[in-house]
Homo-oligomer: A and B are copies of this chain.
Amino acid sequence: MNEVASPTKASLAEESIHQQIEALAKAAREASVTLANAASQQKDEALRAAAAAIRAGSGDILSANAEDLRLHGEKLSDSMRDRLALDEDRIEAIAKGLEDVAKLPDPVGRVLAEWKRPNELSISRVATPLGVIGIIYESRPNVTADAGGLCLKSGNAAILRSGSESFHSSRAIANCLQAGLIAGGLPGAAIQLIPTTDRAGVGAMLTLAGLIDIIIPRGGKGLIERVQRESRIPVIAHLEGLCHVYVDGAAKPEMARDIVLNSKMRRTGVCGAAETLLVDKRAAQSHLPAILDALAEAGCELRGDAPVCKLDARVIPAVKEDWDTEHLDAILSVKLVDGVEEAIEHIARHGSHHTEAIVTEDAATAERFLSALDSAILMWNASTQYADGGEFGMGAEIGISTGKLHARGPVGAEQLTSYKYVVRGAGQVRP
């Protein structure tokens, strides 16, 4: 390759990508005004029409998916290939997901609060869409429909940037979403897929403050860190879920065993899966053996601190990094602590502020854990695997926010709104 010419070519290409994406974002902003004022019924009709288009277009979606698998399948890990692959059942689940979103209450126009002032001004806080939402994701093509559908429901325009592995599948799905919008009498530009997988496309999106209101990255740590570093637009990020379970001395042994096993092993690849088990040293003899038996039997690799290794020969010594690692696999780090206070300290130092659980029958200990820790979700006597918008009764989610600004925890249609104040008077002027 010509080393002198290529940077120039690259910058020309970047320049043209930037212009292309700016034009697309302008169209999205225009569409967002229509979306913001669309009736609930119209948005739901578009969602149902999109579901129908996905069912009708399943052949095209499967061919596109086969093309993605042909191009990228070999270099992907098993779990990534599994995330990418579609079949009739998965396509039906995508269509059904859109119909479920249609059934949710409309988050826009809700009166969040209402009061009257002594001067008779009547004030209400009313939910409004955010505007234009940029979603940057990796290899799961279903995110196209999930994210596009939630944005539509919440009256926002969506700009979707699919990972290169799932680009053809995402494009086929995005076409169905646009068909749904148009069938519902709404502008097709309200959901647009960035037509290139060039990394410059992400960079261009992140500079379009004023046209894009918020960026939501969905993917690995590398992607999210890049987005947080480069973005000139506010980001709602779903960082890692380094979730903890603390088994207190006052826990019921069987409940502790079941909650730890479920928190770790129900599904190991989800962000609500436990990565570290902290056990009160008072429970080391009474509770821990049965917990380790259950985990080992289920095929979980156990890594412990010295006292845990001493208790159980199946446990291999944990290294320093284990306490800070989201394994997303059948591996659990196990540590003895001196009661709830040391558990709180450990979690505050090593946790990712996602989800933590305590198992105890002692209400005062539980309340101390629930109030002292600053994680998005805190569970008492329940599995960390409940950390999920659906399980919270909030419907579909676009991710679980580990930040504290705007939205925290599951980000569903409601969390994709802002609000405005509407003040009704009778001619009041301020003294």
B378 and A423 form a contact (CB under 8 A): yes
The stretch of A4-12, A76-84, A306-314, A379-387 that contacts the partner chain: A379-387
Known contacts A385-B430, A405-B405; is-contact A378 B420 (Cβ 8 Å): yes
Which residue numbers of A lie inside 8 Å of B, CB to CB? 33, 36-37, 115, 117, 121, 123, 128, 130-131, 213-214, 229, 232, 234, 252, 255, 258-259, 261-263, 266, 348, 366, 370-372, 374-383, 385-386, 391-393, 403-406, 408-409, 418-430
A378 proximity list for chain B (CB < 8 A): 420-423
Partner of A372 from B37, B115, B370, B405 at Cβ < 8 Å: B37
Known contacts A380-B425, A405-B214; is-contact A374 B128 (Cβ 8 Å): yes
Q: Smallest Cβ distance from A340 to chain B, in angstroms?
A: 14
B421 and A381 form a contact (CB under 8 A): no
Known contacts A117-B391, A382-B121, A405-B406; is-contact A377 B420 (Cβ 8 Å): yes
Known contacts A262-B429, A429-B266, A430-B386; is-contact A420 B391 (Cβ 8 Å): no
A427 proximity list for chain B (CB < 8 A): 252, 255, 258-259, 381-382
Specify which of A36, A213, A261, A424 lies most central, judged by the most chain B CB atoms within 10 Å of its CB.
A424
Q: Smallest Cβ distance from A315 to chain B, in angstroms?
A: 23
CA gap between A361 and B427 in the complex, in Å:
10
CB-nearest residue of chain B to A382: B425
Specify which of A261, A377, A429 lies most central, judged by the most chain B CB atoms within 10 Å of its CB.
A429
Known A117-B391, A378-B420, A380-B425; further 8 A-B contacts with Cβ < 8 A: A37-B371, A131-B374, A213-B404, A234-B405, A370-B422, A376-B420, A381-B426, A385-B429
CB-nearest residue of chain B to A393: B117
B115 and A425 form a contact (CB under 8 A): no
Main SS of the interface on chain A?
mixed
A377 and B418 form a contact (CB under 8 A): no
A418 proximity list for chain B (CB < 8 A): 404-405, 408
A392 proximity list for chain B (CB < 8 A): 117, 123, 421
Sample (25) of A-B pairs whose CB atoms are under 8 Å apart: A115-B393, A117-B391, A117-B393, A121-B382, A131-B374, A213-B404, A229-B232, A252-B427, A266-B430, A375-B420, A376-B421, A378-B421, A381-B426, A382-B423, A382-B424, A382-B427, A382-B428, A383-B430, A385-B429, A385-B430, A386-B423, A405-B405, A405-B406, A406-B406, A408-B420
A404 proximity list for chain B (CB < 8 A): 128, 130-131, 213, 418
B131 and A383 form a contact (CB under 8 A): no
Q: Smallest Cβ distance from A144 to chain B, in angstroms?
A: 24
In the complex, the 6 A-B pairs of residues with the closest C-beta atoms, listed nearest first:
A382-B425, A262-B429, A404-B418, A255-B427, A406-B406, A385-B430
A379 proximity list for chain B (CB < 8 A): 423, 425
A423 proximity list for chain B (CB < 8 A): 377-380, 382, 386
